[in-house]
Amino acid sequence: MTRRIFNFSAGPACLPESVLEEARENLLSLGTTGIGILEHSHRGKAFLAVHEEALALCRELAGIPADYDVLLLQGGASLQFSMVPMNLLPPGGTSDYLVTGVWSQKAVIEAQRVGRVHEVCSSADRNFCYIPAQARYSPAPAYAHFTSNNTIFGTQFATEPTPPAGVPLVCDASSDIFSRPLDIAKYGVIYAGAQKNLGPSGLTLVIIRKDLVAAGPKDLPTMLQYRTHAAENSLYNTPPTFGIYILGLMLKWIKAQGGLGAMARQNSERAGRLYAYLDQSRLFRATAEPGSRSLMNVTFVTGRSELDEQFLKEATKGGLDGLKGHRSVGGMRASLYNAFPTAGVDALIAALRDFESRHA
């Protein structure tokens, strides 16, 4: 087999080798069924067991209360940018958005197609390098939406924002879902594409309070109503069966590591080590402000684009892939999701030190 290298990609991202190996085994035959996981009917007993196990593990690991539905959908987080306002924003209502990066801006654009949007706060003034401390909510919003981790800009909410009492909090958690414990009861809706912390692309996890599902309009297209998927246990149409299978394996892997608390400790330790190096470096610096820094996506620059380019070239040669920052920030971005191996963080810090010793 070709040697595996360290994959710092922002998503789709690396998966644990044990998960990939188990999936490889089950490609030809899921257990003793004689039929591969990709080939099983979504209505058959074998797949339904996989489906139920993934849903049960989600509930167990995140402590999801009984008054929430767990939905496994398609269309990515980008479809949730539309489904959230279509289902939660009544005619004449206002939705509140905290704008902390490109993904929240995209969510705002989709909400504006449905109804009124009030911008609670924005960090656009300094290219989204911080999480705003102040928030001005509208008098009675239908919901308040935020992006818990800003994949592109390397910032993350340390704790949930607090909307006015009774206002459902809606979270795009695409790039930090299940990377730390969640107090689900604080949320109306949490949604995330699976392709960073939870598995492959093509699957979207939505955790939604049941009363919000019930209150949604009934005249939307069937597939765009949360009600449809809640009533049919996410099996209204053919679901992304392989993605759901891998989600189950990922959740079992997270459980075996010690659950979300263990993920949080691991993620904070290794991102902390990388930031500590960057903060004392004479060449590299983190782009996100202390206090707003992401434990999932660490963004950094040298300040000279030709040096950034040279570092990236050398890193790639040395088996550190996917470190190129998003074009709106430039420089480098190390994505350290749950499954990223700690040895890769050590290798990156060693490569940075070596480069610094030659170029600072």
Ligand X SMILES: Cc1ncc(COP(=O)(O)O)c(C=O)c1O
* CA dist., res. 279 & res. 232, Å (int): 50
Q: Please say which residue, 178 or 284, places its beta carbon nearer to ligand X.
A: 178
Does 174 sit near ligand X (CB under 6 A)? Answer: yes
Taking CB under 6 A as the criterion, which residues in 229-288 touch ligand X? Answer: none
CA 225 to chain centroid, in Å, comes to 22
Give the count of residues interacting with ligand X (CB under 6 A): 11
- The C-alpha angle 234, 336, 243, rounded to 5 degrees, equals 20
Q: Please say which residue, 30 or 152, places its beta carbon nearer to ligand X.
A: 152
Specify the residue for token string 């594409």.
193
Taking CB under 6 A as the criterion, which residues in 73-102 touch ligand X? Answer: 76-78
Query: Which of 359, 248, 247 has its CA nearest to residue 311?
Result: 359
Residue 172 is a catalytic residue: yes
Q: How far is the CB of 76 from ligand X (least distance, A)?
A: 3
The one catalytic residue among 69, 103, 176, 308: 103
Taking CB under 6 A as the criterion, which residues in 130-169 touch ligand X? Answer: 147, 151
Does 179 sit near ligand X (CB under 6 A)? Answer: no
Contact 153, 166 (CB under 8 A): no
The one catalytic residue among 69, 96, 172, 176: 172
Residues 6+ apart with CB under 8 A from 267: 179, 180, 295, 296, 336, 338
Per-residue binder mask for ligand X (CB under 6 A), 103-132, x = binder: x-----------------------------
CA distances to 23, 47, 63, 221 from 242, in Å: 9, 10, 24, 26
Residue 55 sits at φ, ψ, to 5 deg, of -65, -40
Three-class DSSP category at 297: strand
Q: How far is the CB of 172 from ligand X (least distance, A)?
A: 5
Q: How far is the CB of 55 from ligand X (least distance, A)?
A: 20
Taking CB under 6 A as the criterion, which residues in 191-220 touch ligand X? Answer: 193
Which residues make up the interface to ligand X (CB under 6 A)?
11, 76-78, 103, 147, 151, 172, 174-175, 193
